Structure 1
Amino acid sequence: MKKILTGAVAAIALVGIASPAAAQTNQRHYAGTGSLNIPFIGSVPVNYTITNPTPVTIPFIGTVNPGQLLGDLGVATKVGTRYTAVADAPSDSETATPTVNVEFSLSGSVNKDCSFYAGNNGSATQIDFGVIGVRTGNNENVNNAFEMVGPAVANIETLTAGCNFNNEVKIAKNNPLGLVNQDSSGYDNLQFQNNIPYAVTAAWTGVAKDVVANGSPQSLVVTSTDADGEGTIEQGAWRSAMTINFTAPAVTSKGLVAGNYTGTTTLTLQAL
């Protein structure tokens, strides 16, 4: 048979496959030709090919492999030949993973902070109205004498203010009565008063607490008549210029007692 290689050249291809896993080679082939002398029978012709003989189970006998028995018998009696090819290599040390996802968790922190540029020294926050004019002319009607000539105003602007987290903006006067006369003097309280009420308005660009949106004009007002002299508003993170306006409306219902009028207003930016 020409399939039996004698004096021919056989080229063997060696193949290794890393992934996916492939079946390892385990081949057994038999071929036979010629004749076999069997006692009492005589010459019996032999011509067969067997590829990868498969075992079978026979009741009361067990598992046998007739093809392999026949093939090995042909080899033993020199009428057949055999070809075997067995290849083996250790499998992957672990299950192969064609795709690997690695998740990196990045973290860091930013401290809560609020800022307000209030000048370079304490004098920047000392707001002096100077002389608060009253009607001092001797030709004033008695019902107008010693009343304020006009409102007292102060305007403050900082170009840097804000907080980088939800925050509370608070304005608080030290005295709800406003500016209070620190000089003692008796007076007719039907005709005079020793305080000057004032309003405070702060304005900036920001957003409401927990809101993510474009900033818009925000404001906080404490009027001259607020009983507790303070007000608050909650905001999301913001940064912008801020203006603070103080307005003391002219006191015209009564005259003002002479003296030094003082008061303090505290602006608080507090991260929540």
Structure 2
Amino acid sequence: MKNILCGAVAALALVAAAAPASAQTSELHYASPGPIPYQITNPGFFGTLAGELGVALEVGTRYRASADAPSDTETATPVVDVVFTLSGSVNKDCSFYSGNDAGARNIDFGVIGVRTGNNENVNDAFEMVGPATANIDTLTAGCNFNNNVEISKNDIRGLVNTAPGGYDTNEFQANIPYSVAANWTGVALNAQVAGSPQSLTVGTAANAGTKQQGAWRSRMDIDIVAPVVTGKGLVAGDYSGTTTLTLRAL
């Protein structure tokens, strides 16, 4: 069998592995037609020695082919997942639009009428004619996190006359109790539901109240009512009191 190409064309197939790596080419072949014919393929030490001896004595031939290319710098990964972690923060905030200046928050009942007619029965003289009422509403109120809605009066007695002079305590009083009721649309603490009507009331005999809520935003209506004081007349003078509404993020 003739393995030596003479006057023929040898076509070399060049292959680069794109998938799992295969062994790089390393071929060493020897052959001789005589005087002792032989073929040696990829010999070890002694076979190479014999093949090289045949080449040196000019009775044999040799074929060598080798190929080399640097390997991947790292293990190839046919699928790569890259996870981007996005982050940011939103500050806790509560809002309540209460007008453009302090004057908007001064609620003046004006003259609180009492029975001043000289034809009034003595048991009715100087008593309140009717309830004193005030309504406050804002279209912007709420908190963007769990929060407390708090209402507190500075004095449990309500509106107080701080300079009443002397008076018969069996027949007169120098304070006017009042209640405060706030209404808005919100949700319970930690609830993730659609908003519903919420309310907080501090009665005439109470000093403060609080209600926990989840994040909410809506209009808020605040009604202040000082019911008619019965059984006693009111001492003349100036009556005042303060009510504080607090929206406090938890």
How does the TM-score come out when normalised to structure 2? 0.86
Correspondence 1:206-245 to 2 at 5 A: 206-226=186-206, 229-245=207-223
- Deviation digits for residues 11-44 of structure 1, max 9, x if unmatched? 22323335543321112234443x42xxxxxxx6
**2:100 partner amino acid:** N
**Which residue pairs with 2:24 in the alignment?**
24
Q: How many residues align?
A: 250
Question: Which residue type is aligned with residue 215 of structure 2?
Answer: A
What pairs with 1:48-197 in structure 2 (closer than 5 Å)? 48-53=38-43, 55=44, 65-66=46-47, 68=48, 71-72=51-52, 75=55, 78=58, 80-197=60-177
More strand by share: 1
Partner of 1:187, secondary structure, is: coil
Q: Alpha-carbon deviation of 1:208?
A: 2.8
- Give the TM-score, by structure 1 length: 0.80
**Whole-angstrom distance in 1 between the partners of 2:63 and 2:214:** 83
Deviation at 1:65, TM superposition (A): 5.0
Distance 1:87 1:142 in 2: 124
Deviations 1:160-207 (A, max 9, x none): 112222322211111100011233232221222111110111121222
Contact kept, 8 Å, 1:19 with 1:96, in 2: the verdict is no
Cα distance in 1 for residues equivalent to 2:104 and 2:145: 27
Question: Please, which moves more after superposition, 154-163 or 15-24?
Answer: 15-24
Mapped pair 1:7 → 2:7: yes
Deviations for 1:243-270, whole angstroms, at most 9, x for unmatched residues?
Answer: 1110111111322222221111111122
How far apart are the structure 1 equivalents of 2:222 and 2:46?
103
**SS state at 1:142 partner:** coil
> Are 1:271 and 2:249 an aligned pair?
yes
Q: What SS class does the counterpart of residue 123 from structure 1 fall into?
A: helix
- Structure 1 range deviating more: 232-241 or 171-180: 232-241
